[in-house]
């Protein structure tokens, strides 16, 4: 097959390595095929090929009809046309989708993109052109989009969880063949992923649920990736993921095959739950330093910047320091002080707490962070309550700022250990229940870069699980146990100071209560169990005699009163 094209503008075409991205527009409304002069004979080329050809050959000659966009058409020499397909496709071009597509293209993998709202396609292709003539090809129709990808086809979806995912799968799978693969890169409920994997298997299609962490910046420059589901599907795109993921010098690409079924989405969900806890703990540290220590934003920026040089070094501490330094463009003072104190959420924190209840795994720090978001939404009620309780003002003793800052640092670190311990215990419990055989140390490794909770602290967690893969809790790892013991006095001082000052620290308080409960050989659950047996005959166990027992508590108590 020969194509007439112009050497004047293009030089020698390298269709295997497209130089830029352009979306194909039809000559007339509804016309999705272009006609080209091939071997001196009119032949039709499908839209997907036309899109690729036109990006390389802007001056190609078309037989009959008007011109595409503002291109001019010239006679030229004939060359061989290789029908080259893209390596992968991506559907869903909101900011995360656009950025991930550009990341993939920048790593040398030509990519086809599609979105139901076609303006997003054109916007993505234009960005690809502006950001280095990246090999991104836009399609307005799902069939053309699918047919532009090499077999076995791989398509990543980045659309809103729930029904939109099912709708997108229905649209795309109608044009796919046995052995093709769909990857859901959104925050999805893991059981939905497992349901879809089974449904796709019946069609002969492979399915992966892949957690993507890192936000807009991570998607563009290197996220942490958590793919779970079909191992065959993972191997089909492993080469892409290894290059696209964040790269950490001492531990490699931040991606690994998580496991079967919905494990990838489940791990991402717990990652987000840990993120909730981290953010809440940092907010409480800020509140104590500001409300009790009376630190200014300038001082807070200095404190958090200093913390980011030591054991608390992390993405969240880094951006917190940045936030304190941003002035308000619309008025005096700092922008953080003008931000409304109502925290939004997208549901993954709630899912994490629901799973904690389902698995009977204590996650009080994460639960407290979720409750705090619920309470933050009650802005109007809180304003009214503040007027009712105006007399509840606590004037504490003057504090030593330097001492307070160090105490809060230690309290934050100790609380952080508890929050991560809870998240890891949730993952371990679900892994046992589902038979996923998840490697907790490997999860800590891929979270070291790209993702929102990336921190130097994660290297310590990886080493803890490397030392003992069956570790029951991070709290009892020898190194972490010593660190908590060394910091517990400061931790208790901060929580007590906050309570006495009328400042709520639900995350730090929950973490401390978690630690104090976990470290005690005996807790008052004996009384609770006796109460259950009293009113519901639920029985109880004894510490000295094996078996289940029931006591007629009411009858005995009544007799003793006579």
Give the tokens for residue 224.
Answer: 């942490």
Task: Report the distance separating Cα 270 and Cα 349, nearest Å.
Answer: 8
Q: Is residue 18 part of a domain?
A: yes
Domain with residue 254: its CATH number is: 3.40.50.720
Q: Is 149 helix (H, G, I), strand (E, B) or coil?
A: strand
Q: Residue 542's domain is classified under what CATH number?
A: 1.20.5.320
- Residue 123: other Cβ atoms inside 10 A: 16
Residue 67 has pLDDT above 60, yes or no: no
Q: How far apart are CA 142 and CA 168, in angstroms?
A: 10
Distance (Å, whole) CA 436 – CA 263? 7
Going by C-alpha positions, the residue among 472, 359, 457, 463 that lies closest to residue 413 is 457
Domain that holds residue 107: 88-261
Residue 6: predicted pLDDT: 29
Is residue 533 assigned to a domain?
A: yes
What gap in Å lies between CA 191 and CA 176, rounded to an integer?
Answer: 24
Q: Which residues pair with 396 in a beta bridge?
A: none
Claim to verify: residue 360 and residue 422 sit in the same structural domain? yes
Task: Quote the pTM value.
Answer: 0.83
pLDDT value for 295: 97
Q: Which residue, of 202, 237, 261, is where some domain finishes?
A: 261
Judge if 130 and 235 occupy the same domain.
yes
Shared-domain flag, residues 156 and 302: no
User: Confidence band (pLDDT; 50, 70, 90) for 331?
Assistant: confident
Least confident among 65-79, 350-364, 474-488: 65-79
On whether both 544 and 496 belong to a single domain, the answer is no
Per annotation, catalytic residue among 268, 430, 448, 462: 268
- 348 or 473, higher pLDDT: 473
* Claim to verify: residue 496 and residue 543 sit in the same structural domain: no
User: In this model, does residue 244 exceed pLDDT 90?
Assistant: yes
Domain count, the chain: 4
Q: In this structure, are residues 322 and 396 in contact, taking their beta carbons and an 8 Å threshold?
A: no
User: Is residue 413 domain-resident?
Assistant: yes
Lowest mean pLDDT among 38-42, 115-119, 175-179, 257-261: 38-42
- Taking Cα atoms as reference points, which of 283, 288, 302, 287 lies closest to residue 368? 283
Is 203 among the domain residues? Answer: yes
- Buried residues in 27-38 as b, exposed as e (16+ CB within 10 A): beeeebebbbbb
From 275, 416, 430, 439, active-site residue: 275
Q: Please check whether residues 161 and 309 belong to one and the same domain.
A: no
Cα separation of 404 and 398, whole Å? 11
Residue count (the chain)? 562
Cβ neighbourhood burial of 335 (10 Å; 0-12, 13-18, 19+) = middle
HEC states along 28-45? CCCCCCEEEEECCEEEEE
- Please choose, from the candidates 521, 524, 498, the residue with its C-alpha nearest in 3D space to the C-alpha of residue 511: 498
What per-residue confidence (pLDDT) applies to 52?
47
Does one domain contain both 250 and 142?
Answer: yes
Is 468 a domain residue?
yes
Separation between Cα atoms, residue 476 and residue 123, nearest integer Å: 52
For 201-241, write each residue's pLDDT tens digit.
999 999 999 999 999 999 999 999 999 999 999 999 999 99
What percent of the chain clears pLDDT 90, i.e. is strictly above it? Answer: 78
| CA 321, 323, 326, 328 torsion-angle sign | negative
Say if residue 560's pLDDT is above 90: no
Arithmetic mean of pLDDT, 386-393: 83
Q: Is 268 a catalytic residue?
A: yes
- Residues 177, 54 share a domain: no
Task: List, for residues 498-511, the tens digit of each pLDDT value.
Answer: 999 999 999 999 99
- What angle do helix axes 506-519 and 364-376 make, rounded to 10 degrees? 160
For the cut 50, the answer to whether the pLDDT of residue 13 exceeds it is no
- Please tell me whether residues 392 and 494 are part of one structural domain: yes
Q: CB 513: neighbour CB atoms within 10 A?
A: 16
Last residue of a domain, one of 80, 113, 128: 80
Give the whole-angstrom CA distance, residue 135 versus residue 150.
Answer: 15
Section 161-181 average pLDDT: 95
Work out the mean pLDDT of the chain and round it to a whole number: 86
pLDDT tens column, 526-539: 999 999 999 999 99
Place 395 in a pLDDT band, splitting at 50, 70 and 90. confident
Long-range contacts from 42-45, C-beta under 8 angstroms, 24+ separation: 43/1
Q: What's the longest Cα–Cα distance across the chain?
A: 114
80, 115, 140 — which closes off a domain?
A: 80
441 CB neighbour count, 10 Å cutoff: 18
Asked if the structure places residue 266 within a domain, the reply is no
Catalytic status, residue 275: yes
Measured CA to CA, the distance from residue 208 to residue 203 in angstroms comes to: 15
Q: In whole angstroms, give the CA distance from residue 110 to residue 19.
A: 10
**Residue 384 and residue 296 share a domain:** yes
Please report, for the domain that includes residue 285, its CATH number.
Answer: 1.10.1040.10
Cα separation, 190 vs 264, whole angstroms: 8
Give the model's confidence band at 562: pLDDT under 50 very low, under 70 low, under 90 confident, else very high.
Answer: low
The reported pLDDT for the residue numbered 54 is 43
**Same structural domain, 63 and 147:** no
Average pLDDT over residues 413-430: 98
Residue spans of beta strands (DSSP E) within 5-135: 34-38, 41-45, 78-80, 88-91, 111-114
Please write the tens of the pLDDT for every residue from 249-281. Answer: 988 999 999 999 999 999 999 999 999 999 999
- Residue 170 included in any domain: yes
> What percentage of the chain reaches a pLDDT higher than 70?
85
User: In whole angstroms, what is the distance from residue 518 CA to residue 390 CA?
Assistant: 37
Indicate whether 221 and 330 sit together in one domain.
no
Instruction: Tell me, yes or no, whether 164 lies in a domain.
Output: yes
């Amino acid at each position: 097959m020969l194509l007439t094209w112009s050497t004047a503008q293009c030089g020698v075409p390298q269709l295997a390595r497209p130089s830029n991205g352009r979306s194909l527009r039809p000559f007339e409304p509804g016309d999705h095929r272009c006609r080209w002069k091939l071997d001196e004979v009119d032949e039709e080329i499908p839209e997907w090929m036309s899109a690729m050809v036109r990006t390389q050959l802007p001056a190609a000659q078309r037989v009959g009809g008007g011109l595409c966009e503002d291109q001019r058409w010239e006679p030229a020499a004939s060359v061989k046309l290789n029908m080259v397909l893209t390596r992968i496709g991506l559907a869903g071009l909101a900011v995360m989708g656009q950025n991930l597509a550009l990341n993939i293209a920048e790593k040398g993998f030509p990519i086809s993109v599609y979105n139901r709202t076609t303006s997003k396609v054109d916007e993505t292709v234009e960005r690809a052109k502006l950001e280095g003539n990246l090999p991104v090809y836009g399609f307005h129709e799902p069939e053309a989009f699918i047919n532009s990808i090499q077999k076995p086809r791989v398509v990543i979806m980045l659309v809103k969880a729930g029904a939109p995912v099912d709708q997108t799968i229905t649209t795309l799978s109608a044009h796919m063949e046995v052995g093709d693969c769909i990857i859901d890169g959104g925050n999805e409920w893991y059981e939905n992923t497992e349901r879809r994997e089974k449904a796709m298997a019946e069609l002969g299609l492979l399915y992966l649920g892949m957690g993507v962490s890192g936000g807009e910046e991570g998607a563009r420059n290197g996220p942490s990736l958590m793919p779970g589901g079909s191992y065959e599907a993972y191997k089909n795109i492993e080469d892409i993921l290894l290059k696209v993921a964040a790269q950490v010098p001492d531990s490699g690409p931040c991606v690994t095959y998580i496991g079967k079924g919905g494990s990838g989405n489940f791990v991402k969900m717990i990652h987000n739950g840990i993120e909730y806890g981290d953010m809440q703990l940092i907010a409480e540290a800020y509140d104590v330093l500001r409300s009790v220590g009376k630190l200014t934003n300038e001082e807070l920026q200095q404190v958090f910047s200093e913390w980011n040089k030591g054991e608390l070094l992390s993405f969240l501490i880094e951006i917190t320091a940045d936030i304190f330094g941003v002035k308000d463009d619309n008025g005096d003072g700092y922008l953080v002080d003008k931000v409304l104190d109502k925290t939004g959420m997208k549901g993954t924190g709630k899912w994490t707490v629901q799973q904690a209840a389902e698995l009977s795994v204590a996650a009080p720090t994460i639960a407290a962070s979720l409750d705090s978001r619920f309470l933050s939404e009650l802005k109007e009620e809180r304003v009214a309550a503040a007027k009712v309780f105006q007399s509840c003002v606590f004037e504490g003793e003057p504090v030593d700022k330097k001492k307070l800052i160090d105490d809060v640092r230690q309290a934050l670190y100790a609380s952080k250990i508890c929050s991560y311990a809870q998240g890891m215990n949730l993952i371990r419990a679900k892994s046992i229940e589902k038979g996923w055989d998840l490697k907790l140390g490997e999860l800590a490794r891929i979270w070291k870069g790209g993702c929102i909770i990336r921190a130097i602290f994660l290297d310590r967690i990886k080493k803890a699980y490397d030392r003992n893969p069956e570790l029951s809790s991070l709290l009892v790892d020898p190194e972490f146990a010593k660190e908590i013991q060394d910091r517990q006095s400061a931790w208790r001082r901060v929580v007590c100071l906050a309570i006495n000052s009328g400042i709520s620290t639900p995350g730090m308080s929950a973490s401390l209560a978690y630690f104090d409960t976990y470290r005690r050989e005996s807790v008052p659950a004996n009384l609770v169990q006796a109460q259950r047996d009293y009113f519901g005959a639920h029985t109880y166990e004894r510490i000295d005699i094996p078996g289940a027992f029931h006591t007629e508590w009411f009858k005995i108590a009544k007799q003793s009163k006579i």
